[in-house]
Structure 1
Amino acid sequence: MQSTTGRLVHPDWFIMKIGFTRLLVLFLLFSTAVSADELSVLSEEQRASANYYQHLQSDAYELLATRKEGLSKLIDKEAIESYQRLLRTQFIEALGGFPEKTPLNPHIIKRTELKEYTIENVIFESQPNHHVTGNMYVPHGDGPFPVVVVSSGHSRTAKLADYNQRFGIRMATLGIASFVFDPIGQGERSQVVTPEVEPLFNGTTTEHFLIGTSSILVGRNTATYRIWDAMRAIDYVHTRDDIDTSKIGYTGCSGGGTLTSYIMALDPRVTCAAPACYLTTFRKLIETRGPQDSEQNIFGQIAFGMDHPDYVIMRAPRPTLITSTTGDYFDIKGAWENYRQAKRVYGVLGYPHQVDMVEVEGSHGVKPQSLATIGHWMQRWLLEKDANVAIRDFEDDLQESTVLNCTESGQVLSLKNERSVFDLNAELAKSLAAQRQETNGTLSDEALRTAIRKLAGIRNPSELPAPKMEEVGRIFKDGYHIDKLVLHTDSGIPLPGLTFHPKKPQDGAYVYLTDTGKTGDSEKNGPIEKLMNDNYAVVTIDLRGQGETGRGERDEILGDWKQFYLAYLMGKSLVGPRTEDALATGHFVANYDKPAGERREVHLVGVGQAGIVALHAAAMNPDLFTSVTIKDVPKSWTEIVGSQDLQGQLDSIVHGALRVYDLPDLVRLAGPEKVKFETSAE
């Protein structure tokens, strides 16, 4: 197995990495001693206010309401253009900027002549040795032709998927060329493959999330790479003599609708656009499905006021068709609200006819009527032809991979010297490390702490009020007892906790943090019991979003990714508030039942991604903790950012962290003599 920038990963590693099997075994052992219900702490009333995801929802709704109120100021062209410029600037900043343009080095691998059009298999480099594969559908006859660029949804087969082929065929039969390309993590562009050079994951979004985990650490996003590939696809069609580059359309469904929305907002070369089965409003999305795939969440966009309708508003008054289905999980009511907001802006600019919407009966996906309507829209604006477009199914025109693939193996990672997105992020991380070494060398420890707090969203420990503790029950066991407690901080979220008391505890105590919250590692003969055998009291807590404060939904590879990305959309991390929770717990343990001016020694343990939280807490307030033990945590983010082996890491990452600090910086700030890294025995 290659664990850094290599491409081959054994699937068994996923379970090993997150310790899922181990956690299951421990839970079964633990359940024989103490039931989960027996260790529940919060009252029904407290549970109603404890759900962190619901708190995040409320925060998002307030921000979205503020944005919507601001639309009333868009009363003239000057105000609208200022709004558009500001959002585009903030959008690109949130993406981490774009790479420099380098030679495309395009090649047409082969041509397939068909009755009404020719299919060309095209490959080019969006970045050096980072290849994009696609199919160019060229109508017969004399060019130059207008062109529609098509982004794929989340289909594993990407450009081979029937709906994507139908996009290309439909345009070509109307006399419009079309370029349908594979996005990263799909089609011939899987970023993690087996030794047989096959995609390791069945679901493409898993790759996207892991790419996102790597990208977020360097201040980028899965969307950064997908948008850049799309812009380079437009660059590619500009190189062709048979294309009229003044007439470029863009479309795509689902994830392709997402990318269409981004590109039409950011690239002025897109004459007309038709995003399908994506646009709604964040209010409706959060109320229903919640955040979606990695690239569909731009860092801080809800905080800086970029909602779904803004993808349309940012390109006003250029022609835009919102294509939706009645039963889509991207809520149809939100889609109509999107259209209403955009229509008003287009009207102020004097072009209300250049934005439209179609609602087609059915579930998520491109229906025959949707395809015909998109064809009509492209024909209207690219060919200046307002004729009806007939519904055709093109079933007999669909091609196999042997016709459409651009590589012999079916995967670009088999190409010599090919660089994956993980490789690109690793190169950036290396560059950022050099920059940090130069910059941080001139900073005092307190200045670096301030920079970390600002980025991660952690208040100065001196600003955190002392928590109030509420005792809610006691359970007696053989040789020890468990006290149930609730810590009340100024967050408004009651934090349920447990104190494991040996019969004769010494004065020093442990704060023990795990990814499963207050019950983690507390099975019979487990780590917490061993600490009690040494006569230490051990306090465990549900950090925000864990245990009784969580949604109760954790993906074994990605954790509670919806919770992470809802915070991310507002420019927040989970590390920030959880670090404050850890500091509050440490403060409580240090001062509980002690005379004023005296504190007990507090030893801090963090297991898994909670170890990252523990490390931040120790770095922010090193005087609070006597020792810090970090288990099953990487020693450096820089060392793992180029690895596909990022399962379980999402909860604990901070957007752009490697632009400011890495984990060794936290160790130094905490005091390297007190920090110990361990790996749990399998």
Structure 2
Amino acid sequence: MNRISTLLILSFFIFLQNGLSQETPHSVFNANRGGDQQWLTYQDNHRALYRVITNQAFHLLEERAAKVLEIHTATDWKRYQKETKTALCGSLAKFKKTPLNARTTGILERETFTVEKILFESHPGFYVTAGLFLPKKRQKPAPAVIYACGHTELGFRSETYQHVILNLVEKGFIVLAFDPLGQGERLQYPNAETGKSRVGSSTKEHSYAGVQNLLSGTSLTDYFIWDGIRVLDYLETRPEVDMNRIGMTGRSGGGTQTAQIAACDQRIYAAAPECYITSFKRLLQSIGPQDAEQNPYNAIANGFDHADYLHIRAPKPTLVITTTHDFFSIQGARETFAEVQKPYTAFGKPENIQMVEDLGVHESTRNNRESLYAFFQKHLELPGDPTDSKTAPFAEEELWVTPTGQVGTSFDGETVFSLSRNYFAGKKVTESGLPEIVAQTAGIDFQRKLTAAVYTGKFTKKDVLVQKYFLENNREDYGLPVYVVSNENENSGKLVVWFHPEGKEQVFEEPLLAELVQDGHTVVCADLPGTGELNDPEFSGDGVIQGIPFNYTFGANLVGKSIPGIQAGAIDLVHQFIHTEEELAGKEKIAVVQGLATSAFLHFATVKKSFGKAVFLNFPNSVSDLFNDEFYNPEEAFAVAPGSLLYYDYPALTEYLSASGVGVFMSEKLSDNRKIIEFINSR
């Protein structure tokens, strides 16, 4: 053997020894080719939760699009309008029109107009702050424009929004601008000392309140729309206003409100949503679901899309105002506009639907503002010059309606938190009907079928053997990471399936694991969507509160699903795996469920009974406790199925399992290890 050959062989053995001595990567998707490279088609597996949501959304939106394609005549469109309006506005029936108790708290004088500071109640004790801008030279009665502001802590006092308001006033329009809840003088969680919100920005104010409302089957959208309806009721009390010539506009969040309120209240004759209209498909493809009020309850599941805001209004005049580089996709706006032309044409008024598009980002451009003025001048019959003029905005404090600049520190009134309790009414469910209602509420279908358990290697950790798998399924949207943990020399015991809220790796931090394996039990643990290797740490959105990404919650609810419902579907994959894998199938199966993983497991186990025993470690607070705590824990709320509190709570599901013959052991502390093992070992 020559010297070169000898060196090559020695080098190979040195490489082999060093390579095998390195710790085997723990990821189930590791491709075993050095470094941290993963299977190519699973490199974005951490987006599993979002992919489940969007795949369902796109499927439902395709069904809706096919339905819309079959609508042609005016008669068919009227039928569709009625159905769609019910889907959006039907939930408002829980609200009742009560006295507005409106009053003027102050008046500002300018040379050409006055501003009345208005306070009224959209619900008893729930105050709305507004400014009524009255041109001194105007028609009698005059057309009025409702102005809804976007996401800003200043509400309608923002210089950007005042500029449009004052231009409209100078052109002879009466303008009523109001603060949405969570903005301006209507913070829902005000800090009395700082005057700022205790939960964060306006989008956080909305989302924090919105998630809590979802627990009881209500979207915050309802409260936003109802405020707008009561604004119209207030305008009806003003003799200066011609109620046959009412317009509404607003940008960004104000565009959302304009689209929603104008769809639900036909008193708005001309509507011009700005920098909002797109389509749910393009929204989900680009920036994802936004804060709470932009997501009507189960909207996509109910066959609703952005175009339906406008379909409902046809043939009333509507102007869609867009910019080319808005984060609300311009492509979605174009596609929506093309669709909405159909009913307007069927009703013989194709000229009443318009779209203006200007170069810009998420902003109000001069060209778009002038198009807005011209639109209202034409359709509200107030001819004039649409030129955008310079304005002199008021200082924020000048436009305060309340003494302190905040309703919450000026009056002892209601908040969304207190109102939601007034309007909540639970529904009784029989024990036999519980599985079906749980499946419907959480969006569980169990149609995901295991197609392969892909073995990717093994490693040892803390003196236990860990075998790695990922579970493929017929929907091909993610692979489910699974560990099978055992004592290499003795595994004749039972099968313990452990669900941890942070994923499979965290199980190794619990002393109970070593004791179970030492007793000869095999432990299976998995990453459910949103945890472990199926967690996307870079996911962000305007509904993230204290690090909890509620944009997932809003997206899931749009398509009729929930986070625990999606995770229950993943538990079913684990269930299929342990019943088909030869070395696991014959063992007695016990579940160990820890912390907030309890929600997903209870949803799964109520619908599909599969474990003879269940051990619950650190059982979470009830959903009822979350609903009744003004400053609830966002992490706990993330694990709840929207609408579940109407029908059931965690204790009720646990009682159902016990009544169904499942042995249940509750432990508040992991120091109960010996008792837990005795329970697992018992017959």
Task: Please report the TM-score for the alignment, with normalisation by the length of structure 1.
Answer: 0.85
Q: Secondary structure at the match of 1:328?
A: coil
What count of residue pairs does the alignment treat as equivalent? 630
Residue 194 in structure 1 maps to residue 191 in structure 2: yes
The residue that corresponds to 2:406 in the other structure is: 411
Say whether residues 1:472 and 2:456 are aligned partners: yes
In 2: Cα distance, 1:427 partner to 1:414 partner:
22
The residue that corresponds to 2:369 in the other structure is 371
**Counterparts in 2 of 1:224 and 1:674: CA distance versus 1, 3 Å:** same
The range that moved more, 36-45 or 214-223, is 36-45
Superposed, 1:525-674 pairs within 5 Å as 528-529=513-514, 532=517, 536-554=521-539, 555=544, 557=546, 559-586=548-575, 588-589=577-578, 593=582, 599-608=587-596, 610-621=597-608, 624-631=611-618, 633-637=620-624, 639-671=626-658, 674=664
The whole-number CA distance in structure 1 between the counterparts of 2:272 and 2:79 is 24
Q: How does 1:76-475 map to 2 (within 5 A)?
A: 76-93=73-90, 95=91, 97-141=93-137, 143-196=140-193, 197-385=195-383, 387-394=384-391, 397-429=392-424, 431-432=425-426, 436=427, 439-440=428-429, 443=430, 445-459=431-445, 469-475=453-459
Contact 1:104–1:126 (8 Å) recurs in 2:
yes
* 1:65 correspondence with 2:49: no
CA separation of 1:35 and 1:411: change in aligned 2, threshold 3 A = farther
Residue 233 of structure 1: how far off its partner (Å): 0.9
Give the direction of change, closer, same or farther, for the CA distance of 1:475–1:120 in structure 2 (3 Å limit): same
Structure 1 residue 643 displacement after superposition: 2.2
User: How far apart are the structure 1 equivalents of 2:297 and 2:388?
Assistant: 40
Q: Deviations over 1:302-323 (max 9, x none)?
A: 2333221221121011011111
State the distance in 2 between where 1:62 and 1:289 align. Answer: 19
User: Which range is displaced more, 153-162 or 447-456?
Assistant: 447-456
Change (3 A) 1:117 1:464: closer
Higher relative contact order (CA closer than 8 Å, sequence separation 6+): 1
Q: Is the 8 A contact 1:160 1:399 kept in 2?
A: yes
**Separation in 1, partners of 2:359, 2:341:** 22
Task: Name the aligned partner's letter for residue 602 of structure 2.
Answer: L
Give the distance between the partners of 2:619 and 2:156, measured in 1 at CA: 40
The 1:319/1:469 distance shift into structure 2, 3 A limit, reads same
Aligned partners of 2:471 and 2:479 also within 8 Å: yes
Counterpart contact for 1:213–1:653, Cα < 8 Å: no
The answer on 1:514 being equivalent to 2:503 is no
Who wins on radius of gyration, i.e. which is larger? 2
RMSD: 2.8
Q: Check conservation: 2:623, 2:645, Cα contact below 8 A.
A: no
Following superposition, the deviation at residue 45 of structure 1 comes to 4.7
1:152–1:502 Cα change, 3 Å:
farther
Residues 459 and 343 of structure 1, relative CA distance in 2, 3 Å threshold? closer
1:676 is aligned to 666
Aligned to 1:661, the other structure's residue is in SS state: coil
1:236 alignment partner, SS class: helix
Give per-residue Cα distances to partners, 1:73-100, cap 9 Å, x unaligned.
332210111111110011224x564411
Greater Cα shift, 224-233 or 620-629: 620-629
One-letter amino acid of the structure 1 residue matched with residue 89 of structure 2: I
Distance in 2 separating the partners of 1:303 and 1:290 = 16
Instruction: Return the letter of the residue paired with 2:531.
Output: Q
Q: Structure 2 CA distance, aligned partners of 1:36 and 1:237?
A: 70
Structure 2 CA distance, aligned partners of 1:654 and 1:166?
Answer: 43
CA deviation after TM superposition for structure 1 residue 200, in Å: 1.8
Cα distance in 2 for residues equivalent to 1:615 and 1:107: 51
Q: 1:635 to 1:302 in 2, by over 3 A?
A: closer
Residues 1:240 and 1:599: Cα distance change in structure 2 (over 3 Å): same
CA distance in 2, matches of 1:96, 1:538: 49
Distance in 2, matches of 1:221 and 1:595, equals: 44
1:431-459: per-residue Cα shift (whole Å, max 9, x none)?
A: 32xxx3xx33xx2x232222212221224
Question: In the aligned structure 2, how far is the partner of 1:513 from the partner of 1:324?
Answer: 47
Q: Are the equivalent residues in 1 in contact too, given 2:626–2:637 (CA < 8 A)?
A: no
| CA contact 1:126–1:132 (8 Å) conserved in 2 | yes
Q: CA deviation at 1:35?
A: 8.5
Work out the CA distance in 1 between the residues paired with 2:69 and 2:474.
35
